[in-house]
Chain A
Amino acid sequence: MGREPLWKLERVTKTYSMGQVQVTALQETSLEIAEGELLVILGPSGSGKTTLLNLIGGMDVPTQGRILFDGESLEKADEKRLTAYRRDVVGFVFQFSNLIPDLTALENVTLGAHLSRKPLSPEAVLEEVGMADRMQHFPSQLSGGEQQRVAIARAVVKNPRLLLCDEPTGSLDCSTGRRILELLERVNRIYGTTVVIVSHNAAIGGMAKRIARMSSGRITSCSENPSPVSPGEIEW
């Protein structure tokens, strides 16, 4: 990793209390992410991937350890600061598109644009994700893959510095999933957005410049991928 990391996680632990049981989802995990990179975090379910993603994205705060963004520590930030961080810095894409059913594709994306101080054009982004002719459709009128494209457009339109994708292909068939990955790779390439993809699907690692592997709440390895392949070539 040649560039100065923009995000730094230092010995981060996250413990949840589930009723009377304490569950440690993440244990003393450290990670650095440089601006503009495409990182894939792999691991089986329950390995702590989503928890890690939530911490990076300001959806949650760690129980122990430090999270630094551009030198600012986020672990003690209050809800207001975290909201501002999510608003200005982060874009999320989830396994389920989570689009607002009462808004059209364009309106869903515009909703994201409203949040940003320097948004991209919603129409242009929708065109970029291949949804130019379906902008006026409601989510219920779109296929799963189309919904996910709109979700990506909604995250990208804010022009975030970091795009966090939690199992973005998890609910899609293989070929649709591949097209979504292509799209994420394009976003990384065209807009220079840092993209972090979390998946249990090891094949996806092939497209990353760097791969982190997780197991039982820890990052077990972190390696550079000298020859990333195009998402179109990934098979699973």
Chain B
Amino acid sequence: MAEEKKKSDYLVEVHDLKEYFPVRTGFVKTIPLKAVDGVSFNIKAGETLGLVGESGCGKTTVGRTLLRLYEPTGGEFYFDGELVTDKNIHSLRKQMQMVFQDPYSSLNPRMTVEDIIGEPLDIHHLYANKKERHDKIMDLMQLVGLNAEHATRYAHEFSGGQRQRIGIARALAVNPRFIVCDEPVSALDVSIQAQVINMFEELQDKLGVAYLFIAHDLLVVHHISDRIAVMYLGRIVETADADELNSHPIHPYTLSLLSAIPIPDPKTARASKRIILKGEIPSPLHMPSGCAFRTRCPYATERCAAEAPQLTDRGNGHMVACWEK
């Protein structure tokens, strides 16, 4: 996908991102675990891209590699037209932040809420005096729906939903334009999930941030995303507008993934037929040749084993990587 890079078009441009982890298999021998193997996508300012897939498909690694929590093995990441490198990542983190899955382990239990939210401000020197720091923290807490008296409390005093609000306030502290949300609601109760999802949407309307929304709950992803990318074993197999993907999925993996969602609506659930996949995800240490999905795919042919399919446009930006469909 060689595109002309126009600064205005996309906020986030990822080309052929690769992340291999060395795995020791013997005394000195290591083999690469291809967690992310050539992933490309773009996100516009103020847009939400949903990233879905089963556990082990590399969706979390994509998010973490973008923020250089892992050193990428290959590929390029342009943020607002600027190539992200080791040199400029520190200053770029003012514009890119992350919200983690587990609101219990991602907050330091020895720090007060004020210090947790204030830490990014300290790191990036975003205040002139103590009063300004305090005011900024209060504004952020109000923005995410926390009371001012919570500021001096510790993380363990809060429920899961409130902790996630603290995590979001921390991410928003530097006024970012792009937030990687790694399963931000999956640790929360159903009735609390809706509160946090609505907050993400309101913040986007208010502040114009773009999200990479990583989750395994497809209904939630469909609800919040403008576009969705489906990952399987380190590669994107299909990407399209959220509604288009759900109404006209093309890739056999997307089809079975969508049909496997337990639908909270008895009539629809009874009418829909599940496409049950045989077997399980192969180990990423021993990836099948060609198309990674071919071992579980009902349509697999010899060509799928020989050659990996590339993403091709099937109209209106609906990209699919499949030989047969």
Whether A associates with B in a native complex is: no
